[in-house]
Amino acid sequence: MRFTFCLLMLWGTSARAAELPDTSRMNVLFINIEDCNAGVFGCYGNAICRTPNIDRFARSAVLFDSAYCQGISCNPSRSSFLTGLRPTTTNVYSNSDVMDDLLPTGTLTLPEVVKAGGFTTANVGKLFHRLEYADRPMLAFDRLEMHDKPEGWKGPGPILNFPPKRPGWEKAPADQKSPEFREWKRKHSDRYGDSGLNREEEYDYRMAATAAALLRDFAKQPAGQRFFLSVSQSKPHTPLISPKKYVDIYDPTKIPPPAAPVDSLVNFPAHSLKRARGGNPDLFRDAQPSLQQAREAIAAYYACVTFVDENVGMMLDALEETGLDRNTIVIFFGDHGFHLGDHGFWSKYSMLEATRRVPLIVRVPGAPANGQVCRQFIELVDLFPTIGELAGLAVPANLEGTSFAPLLGDANRTWKRAVFMSGGPADRGHSVRNRRYSYLEYEGNRPGAALFDLERDPWETRNLVDDPQLADVRNEMAALLKAGWRGALPPAQ
Ligand SMILES: [Ca+2]
């Protein structure tokens, strides 16, 4: 039996109110991208991958350059940012952990709190990792598009109808530990290149087109009725396939090889990452690729990102056409990152930068910091309290993130000292990153620790945890990790 969490905190006026416009009547467009390495966007400094729509959006918004997720894959990360709790509290550490069975009694999720705040709610595509993990929270949506329906949900049918998908795609077996699932993964994940589909046949296009249609529909709502629309893009999650026109944009011979070689990570304790030198969980499952294959795979990843960029552009165009852009908060982010061959990894599941750093771009119409890059530390667990503050929602009092709304007023404000992340289940552990160093501790059967100097070694190739000259640094970082997120909060405003 579940109990509604009684301790709610209603956001009121605060210091930031003097700097931000009144956001209490604004809509929210919440765009989440799967497995997206932050370094692929032009606006994040990538000179090869083409992302003109997202770059244009970033110029009108605040780009968070140091945003980090708290879980190493979909389910741990999404369970965290959608509850405003960290994996140490959600108890969700892997993609097979059933969130609804593990959350502390009475935990409320973001959709439920948004719905209780009076929003019209709509979701297109993935939000929580799987419906059966989060059956109850999905009941909070008035509209559910391109998503399985929870038992008892009674909403309208699809706003757009598409021709049936081409055959060839099988639903994933439910048991992620079964041989059948491994075989499904081999067929459906370990691929890159031309999808053989036209743009309009692709699921991600259809999700974006559906979102654009919903926006046009919301534009007809009575004045004062706010909407919350969450939309997913499944790319650039594996398989790294997209319509040929995107694949053809990139010449693999012009793609630089992965930055950190396969044999880097000397003396690194995480067992699962060492294993990836043979085969990976998502891509190149049987063996490491040749240099040519690595370049082709990165090019294919870029093609997927360019495809996503066009889809996001379609949604942003619908916002502008309807005039909703003037009254809609747009949050664009990735659920976690992805290793593009660095250290021989072609997946997520690490507590290294490529997994934990995520793209995050936020536009609040009229915010003073729009157009700026914010280099302060953000954690995805901060999204829930931030939306709560901006929308004036009654949020649970036990949230484990911090609203970053003040940074939308002043991007240079002093903020968090560090960010935190947990890993598992293969290598259960916890990590902390501050401006200079990254420190990881692994527990369980294979305990160990790692320390990286990110200034001298940004790709985390040399574990310095036993370097006697850095003994003080190790002790400081271990103390920071032990103190946890409460020890790294922004100074009182
Ligand atoms: Ca994901």
SS3 364: coil
Q: What is the pLDDT of residues 105-148, one digit of tens each?
A: 999 999 999 999 999 999 999 999 999 899 999 999 999 999 99
Q: What mean pLDDT, rounded, does the chain reach?
A: 93
Residue 238: the pLDDT is 95
pLDDT at 410 over 80: yes
pLDDT the model gives residue 261: 87
168 CA from centroid of ligand 1 (Å):
22
Cα–ligand 1 centroid distance for 21 (angstroms) = 33
CA of 469 to the centre of ligand 1 (A): 38
Per-residue pLDDT at 184 exceeds 90 = no
Distance 223 CA to ligand 1 centre (A): 36
CA of 332 to the centre of ligand 1 (A): 14
CA–CA dist 190, 440 (Å, integer) = 29
CA of 306 to the centre of ligand 1 (A): 18
Provide mean pLDDT across the span 298-307: 98
Over 50: is that where the pLDDT of 36 sits? Answer: yes
CA of 340 to the centre of ligand 1 (A): 15
Quickly state the pLDDT bin for 17 (edges 50, 70, 90): very low
Q: Are the CB atoms for 384 and 73 separated by under 8 Å? A: no
Q: What average pLDDT does the segment 291-314 reach?
A: 98
Strand, helix or coil for residue 205: helix
Q: What is the C-alpha separation between 368 and 28, in angstroms, rounded? A: 18
| Per-domain boundaries in the chain | 8-417
Name, in order, each residue with C-beta under 8 angstroms of 161's C-beta and a sequence gap of 6 or more: none
Q: What is the pLDDT of residue 229?
A: 98
Instruction: Please tell me the number of Cα atoms within 13 Å of 89 on its side-chain side.
Output: 20
Does pLDDT of 28 surpass 60?
Answer: yes
Alpha helices in 284-394 (DSSP H): 291-322, 353-356, 383-391
pLDDT in tens, 50-106: 999 999 999 999 999 999 999 999 999 999 999 999 999 999 999 999 999 999 999
* Owner of token pair 């048991």: 175
Ligand 1 mean position to 249 CA, how many Å?
A: 25
pLDDT at 280: 86
310-323 pLDDT, tens digit per residue, is: 999 999 999 999 99
How much distance in Å is there from the Cα of 11 to the middle of ligand 1?
A: 30
Of the pLDDT bands very low, low, confident and very high (cuts 50, 70, 90), residue 162 is very high
CA angle centred on 207, ends 206 and 211, rounded to 5° = 115
User: 36: which residues sit within 8 A by CB, 6+ positions away?
Assistant: 236, 305, 308, 334, 335, 337, 338, 358, 359
CA of 85 to the centre of ligand 1 (A): 18
pLDDT confidence band for 175 (50 / 70 / 90): confident
Q: How far is the CA of 335 from the centre of ligand 1 (A)?
A: 5
User: What is the reported pLDDT for 11?
Assistant: 59
Comparing 13-22, 257-266, 279-288, the range with the smallest average pLDDT is 13-22
pLDDT in tens, 224-242: 899 999 999 999 999 999 9
* The two three-digit tokens of residue 118, written as one number: 């009076």
SS3 labels along 429-449: EEEEECCCEEEEEECCCCCEE
Task: Give CA–CA dist 209/199, Å, rounded.
Answer: 11
pLDDT tens-digit map of 425-474: 878 899 999 999 999 999 877 789 999 999 999 999 999 999 999 999 99
Q: Which tokens is 292 given?
A: 């040519």
CA of 336 from ligand 1 middle (Å) equals 6
Asked if residue 325 has pLDDT above 90, the reply is yes
Q: What is the pLDDT of residue 262?
A: 87
Separation of 32 CA from ligand 1 center, angstroms? 9
- Mean pLDDT over 5-30 rounds to 72
* Gyration radius of the chain's alpha carbons: 21
> What's the token pair of residue 349?
């599941």
Q: How far is the CA of 432 from the centre of ligand 1 (A)?
A: 21
Question: What pLDDT, on a 0 to 100 scale, did the predictor assign at position 77?
Answer: 98
Measured in Å, residue 474 CA sits from the centre of ligand 1 at: 31
Average pLDDT value for residue range 184-192: 85
**What is the chain's percent helix, strand, coil content, to nearest 5?**
35, 15, 50
Copy the structure tokens of residue 100.
């609804």
Q: Between 225 and 166, name the one with better pLDDT.
A: 225
Residue 2 reports pLDDT greater than 50: no
Give every CB contact of residue 357 below 8 A, 6+ residues apart in sequence. 37, 38, 39, 66, 67, 68, 337
What distance in angstroms lies between residue 482's CA and the mean position of ligand 1's atoms?
Answer: 28
| Range scoring the smallest mean pLDDT among 399-408, 417-426, 463-472 | 417-426
State the distance from the centre of ligand 1 to the C-alpha of 275, rounded, in angstroms: 21
The closest of 122, 119, 140 to 25, measured between CA atoms, is 119
Compute, in angstroms, the gap from residue 77 CA to the centroid of ligand 1: 8
Q: Residues 46-50: what's their mean pLDDT?
A: 98
**Distance from Cα 419 to the centre of ligand 1, integer Å:** 19
Q: Ligand 1 centre from 217 Cα, in Å? A: 29
What residue type is assigned to position 393 of the chain? Answer: L
Cis peptide before 239 (omega within 30 of 0): yes
CA of 158 to the centre of ligand 1 (A): 25
pLDDT at 5 (0 to 100): 42
The secondary structure element, H or E, covering residue 244 is helix 244-247
How far does the centroid of ligand 1 lie from the alpha carbon of residue 172, in Å? 15
Distance, CA 284 to ligand 1 centroid (Å)? 18
Distance 396 CA to ligand 1 centre (A): 25
Dist CA 145 CA 158 (whole Å)? 6
Given this model, what pLDDT does residue 167 score? Answer: 64
Kindly give the distance from the C-alpha atom of residue 237 to the centroid of ligand 1, in angstroms, as a whole number: 7
In angstroms, what is the span from residue 338 Cα to ligand 1's centroid?
9
Distance 265 CA to ligand 1 centre (A): 24
Q: Decide: residue 151, CB within 10 A, 0-12 exposed, 13-18 middle, 19+ buried.
A: exposed
Q: How far is the CA of 488 from the centre of ligand 1 (A)?
A: 26
Who contacts 445 (Cβ-Cβ below 8 Å, separation ≥6)?
none
Tell how far the Cα of 127 is from the centroid of ligand 1, in angstroms: 10
> Who surrounds ion ligand 1 at CB < 5 A?
34-35, 74, 335
pLDDT for position 268: 86
Residue 300 C-alpha to ligand 1 middle, in angstroms?
17
Q: Which CATH superfamily is domain 8-417 in?
A: Alkaline Phosphatase, subunit A (3.40.720.10)
Q: Tokens 């999808």 correspond to what residue? A: 195
What is the Å distance from ligand 1's center to 49 Cα? 20
